[in-house]
Amino acid sequence: MSQEIPDGLQAKRDQEARRAPVERAVERYARGRLVRRLGASGPPESVRPAARGVRSLVFLVDFKGFPRVVLRASDRWLRAARLAHNFRSFARLGLPVPELLVAELSPLARLRWGFYALVERFQVGRHPDEAPDREAAVRAVARALASLHNVQRRRWGWPGLPRLGSYREHFLERVAERVSHVAKVLAPGQDGPLNAWFRDQAAAAPLDPPFALTHSRVNCGNFVVRPDGEATLVDLIEARYGTFCPDLVSALDRICERDERLMAAFLEEYFGQRPAGTREVFESALPFFEASRTLGRAASYVRRVRRAQDAAEADAYRTRLARQVARLAGQTGLGLTLAKA
């Protein structure tokens, strides 16, 4: 008797089936063309999957007599080309990034399992949350972020810069879009006060500082603390120009995990590397950016509830959504509640 497969499990199986030919193509590439490109003495001893993301697959490749490398295979060619450009530009600016060894389309690029290959030298070290000395690790991340944020627009070479206008207008536009998503699950009439709160905060906060290079994906997995005590940036795909404040809010949340001692150490190290007056700008804009970050998470959970594969997954996302709405209510001082189902 046949047994019905749950939708969520079937989707996972379909995703694995799509990845299988790409993984085989990557292994052939690593054992053939990559050997010649790197000048290794022989084929790799191992090609091991390290991460399977939505946009790319990541492999650790070990050669005999050659340092370990990281191979990223992506079918998003323009996205991968942008990442390669960021690697080279960051290195030219003297920022702490791994060495990019190879960036090219695979020979099978015309076929459906072709990919863009990015090969970088493996960075020895530990993520900040795995370091034996957490305070030293967060201070290293603070120095790396400060060096990134000190890069001004005139020194950046990426030709596809986004439209640069008033960041106050930019953030309010994003807030309005997210409020429209969250309003679908809030009790009636609560979206108006929420929009008004953000407009009032934006009017008081200095949201138009000089444009600087930002990371935009600050978390423990995107930094490696090297044995020399400094931190390396290992994921640069979302780097863009903007204001530094969202990166710092993410760092306090994800790197310091809201630990008072770690947050104090992080901010002391970071602002010690930045121009005078930067801390005052950040502290005055902090309520706006913390609430907008929570709003963004709530909006993402609204979308995930609608796209859930089954009832259990939808209920899990509803629980997370309720938690973010409660947090947003505390940050804004508004009595936000979810509409009754």
What value does the mean pLDDT take over residues 88-108? 87
pLDDT 10s digits, 296-306: 999 999 999 98
Q: What is the pLDDT of residue 173?
A: 87
CB 243 within 8 A of CB 214: yes
Query: In which band, very low, low, confident or very high, does the pLDDT at 156 lie, cut at 50, 70 and 90?
Result: very low
Percent of the chain at pLDDT > 90 equals: 51
Residue bearing the bigger pLDDT, 97 or 237 = 97
Of 6-15, 165-174, 237-246, 251-260, the range with the highest mean pLDDT is 251-260
Taken as a whole, the chain contains a residue count of 341
Q: What is the mean pLDDT of residues 60-85?
A: 88
Query: Domain 128-332 falls in which CATH fold?
Result: Aminoglycoside 3'-phosphotransferase; Chain: A, domain 2 (3.90.1200)
Q: Domain boundaries in the chain?
A: 16-121, 128-332
Mean pLDDT of 286-300: 94
Check whether 1 has a pLDDT greater than 60.
no
| Residue that is written with structure tokens 């206008």 in the block | 165
pTM summary value: 0.83
Nearest to 224 by CA among 213, 238, 237, 235: 235
Amino acid at 170: H
pLDDT at 238: 80
The CB density around residue 309, as the number of other CB atoms within 10 Å, is: 14
Can you count the helices (H) and strands (E) in the chain? 10, 9
Residues 315-333: tens digit of each pLDDT: 999 999 999 999 999 999 9
CATH of 16-121, one of 2.40.50.140, 3.40.50.300, 3.30.200.20, 3.30.930.10: 3.30.200.20
